[in-house]
Amino acid sequence: MAGEQHGGDIVVVGGGIIGCTTAYYLTRHASYDPDHHRITLLEATKIAGNASGKAGGLVALWAYPSSIVPLSFRLHGELAEEHNGEERWGYRRIHGGELAAQVRQPAGDGTRQAESDGPATAKRRHAAGLPGDLTWVDPFNVVSYSELGDPTNTAQVHPYQFTTSMAELAAERGVKIVLGSVTGIEYTATTGEGAADRGGQPLSPTTNPASAKAVSGVTYTDTATSTPHTISATTVILAAGPWTPTLLPSLPVPAHRAHSIVVRSRHPISAHALFTDLPPSTPEIYPRPNNEAYACGPTDTLVPLPTTSALITVDPSRCADIRSQISTLSPALRDADLLLEQACYLPAGGPWIGPTGRARGEWVAAGHTCWGISNAPATGMLLAEMVLEGRARSASVKGLDPRKGMVR
C-alpha cells in the first residue's frame, strides 16, 4: 500500500497542538492536492483552548519517546526558520537544569542580583554549582544545580502562539477550521476481504471485526448556533487530547489537571528552564522573552475533566501556592507582575499514534503527556505520511501503535 495516494475528505478532530500540526503537515505533504483533498479541522471551543495554550513550551532532544523526539526537535528548528518562529512564536534555544533548594532565608527584593552582591554571593553561587548567568535565583537557598540541557539540545516556544500559528498556516493552504463539538463518527459497511488498513495491518472479518466498516462522516454541533451537522469523511484523525476517549472509549488517555501562572519580572531573566525540588513541592519555571516567566505546580485528579475546555475552572489557592514557591527561590520573581492564573488538563497514557483498528480510515494521536508541544511536529508529519502514503516513513512508530493500548 506504500506509495498509493489517498484522497477524499479528511477530518481532524481537535484544535490543540497535535491536531493543528497534523493539519499543517497534511497540507505540506507532496501528495496533498487542494483540488483532490478537503481537510476540515473541528474544534469544540477555540484553537489552543486547553493545554496547548497553557503549557510551558519546552522543546527538548532529551524528551521521550526516543522514537520520535529527534525528528520533532529537528522539525521545530525547521519550522522556526521557515516561518520566522523567533518572532512569531518565541522560538529560541535555552538551557535546562535541575535545582534542589531549601529555604534558609527569605528571598530578598528584586534588586538583589548576584552581580551587585559582591564576593559572598559569588562564592555561594559557585558552591551551589549555579551557572554564572543564572543571576535571578537566590544562591543562598540553593542546595545544588545540575544541567539537563543546553542550547544544542533544548529550546522553547510560546505554546499558544505556536499552536495558533500552525492553525493559521494550515488554513492558508486550504484547511477549513470549524468550531463545533463532535458527537459521533459515522461508518459504512465494507467487505474487508483482502484489505489492509493504512498502518499496513491486514483487515479481515475473521481476524478483525472492524474491517467490516470504514469511516464515512463526522457529526458535530455548531458551537455558535447549537445546530447539528454531518460532514462526509473518508479519513478521521482523533486528536482531541484528554477528550479523545469520548470518541474512542477503548483507548485510555487519563486527564491530569495542571495549574500555572505567568509573571513579568522587572529585572532580567536569563533563558534557563528549571525543574526544582523545593520540599514539599516541585515547581517548574520556564523563562520567556521580555522577562516573562511561566511556572507550574504538580498535577492532580481532584476535579474531573469537564465536557469542554471552556468549562475549566481555576483554583486560585493552587496558583497562589505556585507564586509563593517561586518567590522563595527568586527575588526577581517575588516582585514580578502577575499576568495570568490558569488551569488545563494534560492528556496522559501515551503517546499513541496510528490507526485505531476500529474502522478503515480512522486514526488517533493522543496521550502525549507533558511533551505534547515538543513532539507535535513529528506527530503531525508522521500522521500525514500514514494517511497520504500508507505508512510512516520519517520515524518508526511501531511502539506507539494505539491498538497495543486498547482496553478490550
Quote the CA–CA distance of 300 and 317 in Å, as a whole number.
14
Chain segment 277-314, per-residue pLDDT in tens: 998 899 999 999 999 999 999 999 999 999 999 999 99
Chain segment 244-267, per-residue pLDDT in tens: 999 999 999 999 999 999 999 999
Confidence of residue 7 (pLDDT cuts 50, 70, 90): low
Chain segment 108-165, per-residue pLDDT in tens: 544 444 344 677 888 888 888 999 999 999 999 999 999 999 999 999 999 999 999 9
Residue 407 confidence (pLDDT) above 90:
no
User: Picking from 10-19, 69-78, 112-121, 367-376, which range would have the lowest pLDDT averaged per residue?
Assistant: 112-121
Q: Is the separation of the CB atoms in 32 and 24 below 8 Å? A: no
Confidence of residue 211 (pLDDT cuts 50, 70, 90): low
Burial of 149-178, coded b for 16+ CB within 10 Å and e otherwise, reads beeebbbbbbbbbbbbbbbbbbbeebbebb
Q: Which residues pair with 345 in a beta bridge?
A: 257
Quote the CA–CA distance of 28 and 388 in Å, as a whole number.
11
Q: Which residues pair with 263 in a beta bridge?
A: 293, 338
Helix (H) or strand (E) holding 257: strand 255-264
Q: Is the separation of the CB atoms in 258 and 51 below 8 Å? A: yes
Confidence of residue 235 (pLDDT cuts 50, 70, 90): very high
Residues near 307 by beta carbon (within 8 Å), at least 6 away in sequence: none
